[in-house]
């Protein structure tokens, strides 16, 4: 089958939600536009000869500006993400402050734009004042989120220092489980305060005279979850979040606030209630998505369900903001001016722990990712670029060891397959999404989603293109980057590529490719380069040219633009 698709802007899956996508039947015939998800019943065998494919890019059709925060990451006090991951005091691999130098080196190559902390579920019982001051005076506490001991040696000052080393914007999630409104406001003062007052002076006392200027603050994490301390319903959460927002913004009116979104596409009423209350206070609403499953095409097909989640939440934002409302200047700080955006501040593939809680959960979170997982990751980054008018922040869960692109041991580290799409995109994609149209052979997948403990069908017979393509251009129009995921397990797909608009495309450019011997290829300490990025120069480009995208690959064609 051929799929005709056009990349265009989009006008409680959580760590307890996984998308299971077991079934597949393969190439069939249908007309497809990503503005609607079409379900079709026709299908034929996987492996039949692929039909011709075509990708058309219009350099003059600029869809939206891509916020670099979509390439963000997340660190939580969970397993070996912090301790034994980015921070390991006394290690020969660490600097004198305790930061792992080898981890910092490879993390810097990801050009992390924003780093979320401290959680996650951990945030619901974390009291920030435990993590400041002399380390030998910080209390060692029990962490009820992950049944662990918390030394509090990595606190606010250490986190900010790490963000500075990375060049990342801090994004702090406050405690809306066991914390108080006053505690949240005090945290803002500690980080951003310039006055001669208690918490700003406390920061100065501990050796940091200048404010940290933390811009992004999350109003709790997955507050709807029974697994979290201080669970709340939508109305209760929204009312308390408003009071937190007022107190926090009275301390620093310039901060940006992220409201806690719902757990599933079926619970959009949570999002509506939250936004009805926080409509002129919140700058973002969060969304969490985790997927899992052993079926090759099923997992890759979950990108469509991810897209549906974004579209549904964007619709709620539009409906709430479409009502005539009076900005509440009475609060004493300027109401939000820009449209509320989506922050996908937790997302990843999560296979092992699907339901409930486990006191041995830590060892089960150090996922091993293969090439197939890298293909899915690249498809989601393409989705974020296409959705860049509404998705302006995203944070992969997590940066090191736990569901992570970086895995450490006492002796070193290796990079997992999902590291490389991030490395490729942050280095070589432009910051403006272009209109990208694709004609491609397709596959059909039957998809089911397990939401918390209850499985139910989300979609049947979704038709998806084997080729997932998205083009970008940089501000100065020096190059066009075309990122293409060939999701076909076995076949290369020869494709005609047309680049329209002005300036014209030169012949010179680079090809970058992520691939391996099979979709199951993965990296390890013994085989750290089974999946990696390879590159080469090419002189094949022009207004119209052909390129053969290898099976199970991510390719990025970086093509120079010229004036003639």
Q: Which positions are catalytic? A: 222, 346
Q: Name the 3-class secondary structure at 516.
A: coil
Q: Is 380 left (phi over 0), alpha (psi -120 to 50) or beta?
A: alpha
Please say whether the beta carbons of 399 and 77 come within 8 A. no
Residue 367: phi, psi to the nearest 5?
-60, 150
Q: Check: CB of residue 467 under 8 Å from CB of residue 486.
A: yes
Query: What is the rounded distance in angstroms from the CA atom of residue 246 to the CA atom of residue 149?
Result: 33
The pairing of strands 341-349 and 284-291 is parallel
Nearest to 395 by CA among 97, 63, 173: 173
What is the C-alpha to C-alpha distance for residues 551 and 46, in angstroms, rounded to an integer?
14
Q: Are β-strands 17-25 and 432-451 bridged in parallel, bridged antiparallel, or unpaired?
A: antiparallel
Q: Of all helices (H) and strands (E), which one includes residue 217?
A: strand 216-218
Q: Are 132 and 190 in contact (CB under 8 A)?
A: yes
Place of tokens 């009312």: 239
Tokens 């539009």 belong to: 318
Burial class (CB in 10 A: 0-12, 13-18, 19+), 480: buried
In eight-state DSSP terms, residue 352 is: S
Q: How many CB atoms lie within 10 A of CB 201?
A: 14
Task: Please give the Cα distance from 104 to 85 (Å, whole number).
Answer: 10
The residues, ordered by sequence, that sit 6+ positions from 90 with a Cβ below 8 Å of its Cβ are 98
Among 461, 463, 509, 515, which Cα is nearest to 485's?
515
CA diameter of the chain: 73
Q: Provide the angle, in degrees to the nearest 10, between the axes of the packed helices 296-321 and 371-386.
A: 20
């Amino acid at each position: 089958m051929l799929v005709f698709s056009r990349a265009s802007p989009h006008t409680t899956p959580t760590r307890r939600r996984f998308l299971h996508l077991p079934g597949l039947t393969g190439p069939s015939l249908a007309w497809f536009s990503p503005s609607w998800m079409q379900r079709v019943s026709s299908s034929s065998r996987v492996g039949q000869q692929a039909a011709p494919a075509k990708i058309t890019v219009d350099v003059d059709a600029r869809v939206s500006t891509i916020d670099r925060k979509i390439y963000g990451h997340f660190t939580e006090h969970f397993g070996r993400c912090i301790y034994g991951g980015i921070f390991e005091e006394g290690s020969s691999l660490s600097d004198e402050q305790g930061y792992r130098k080898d981890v910092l080196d490879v993390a810097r190559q990801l050009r992390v734009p924003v780093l979320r902390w401290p959680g996650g579920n951990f945030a619901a019982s974390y009291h920030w004042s435990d993590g400041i001051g002399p380390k030998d005076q910080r209390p060692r506490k029990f962490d009820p989120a992950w049944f662990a001991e918390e030394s509090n040696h990595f606190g606010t000052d250490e986190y900010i220092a790490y963000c500075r080393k990375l060049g990342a914007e801090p994004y702090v999630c406050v405690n809306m489980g066991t914390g108080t409104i006053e505690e949240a406001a005090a945290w803002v003062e500690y980080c951003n305060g310039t006055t001669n007052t208690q918490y700003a002076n406390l920061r100065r006392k501990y050796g940091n005279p200048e404010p940290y200027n933390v811009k992004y603050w999350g109003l709790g994490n997955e507050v709807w979850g029974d697994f979290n301390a201080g669970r709340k319903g939508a109305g209760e959460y929204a009312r308390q979040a408003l009071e937190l927002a007022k107190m926090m913004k009275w301390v620093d009116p310039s901060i940006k606030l992220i409201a806690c979104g719902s757990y599933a596409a079926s619970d959009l009423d949570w999002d509506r209630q939250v936004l009805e209350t926080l409509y002129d206070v919140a700058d973002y609403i969060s969304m969490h998505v985790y997927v899992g499953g052993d079926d090759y095409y099923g997992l890759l097909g979950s990108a469509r369900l991810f897209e549906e989640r974004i579209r549904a939440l964007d619709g709620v934002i539009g409906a709430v903001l479409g009502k005539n409302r009076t900005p509440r200047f009475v609060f004493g700080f300027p109401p939000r001016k820009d449209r509320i955006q989506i922050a996908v501040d937790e997302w990843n593939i999560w296979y092992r722990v699907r339901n409930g809680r486990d006191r041995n959960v830590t060892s089960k979170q150090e996922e091993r990712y293969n090439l197939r997982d890298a293909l899915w990751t690249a498809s989601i980054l393409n989705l974020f670029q296409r959705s860049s008018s509404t998705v302006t922040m995203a944070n992969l869960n997590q940066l090191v060891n736990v569901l992570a692109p970086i895995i450490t041991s006492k002796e070193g580290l290796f990079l997992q397959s999902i590291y490389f799409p991030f490395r490729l995109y942050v280095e070589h994609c432009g910051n403006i999404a272009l209109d990208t149209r694709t004609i491609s052979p397709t596959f059909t997948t039957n998809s089911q989603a397990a939401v918390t403990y209850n499985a139910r069908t989300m979609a049947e017979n979704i038709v998806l293109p084997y080729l997932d393509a998205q083009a970008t251009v940089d501000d100065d129009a020096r190059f066009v980057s075309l990122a293409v995921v060939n999701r076909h397990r076995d076949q290369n797909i020869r494709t005609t590529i047309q680049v329209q608009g002005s300036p014209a495309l030169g012949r010179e450019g680079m090809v970058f490719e992520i691939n391996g011997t099979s979709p199951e290829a993965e990296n390890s300490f013994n085989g750290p380069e089974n999946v990696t990025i390879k590159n080469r120069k090419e002189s094949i480009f022009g207004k119209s040219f052909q390129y053969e995208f290898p099976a199970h690959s991510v390719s990025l064609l970086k093509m120079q633009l010229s004036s003639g």
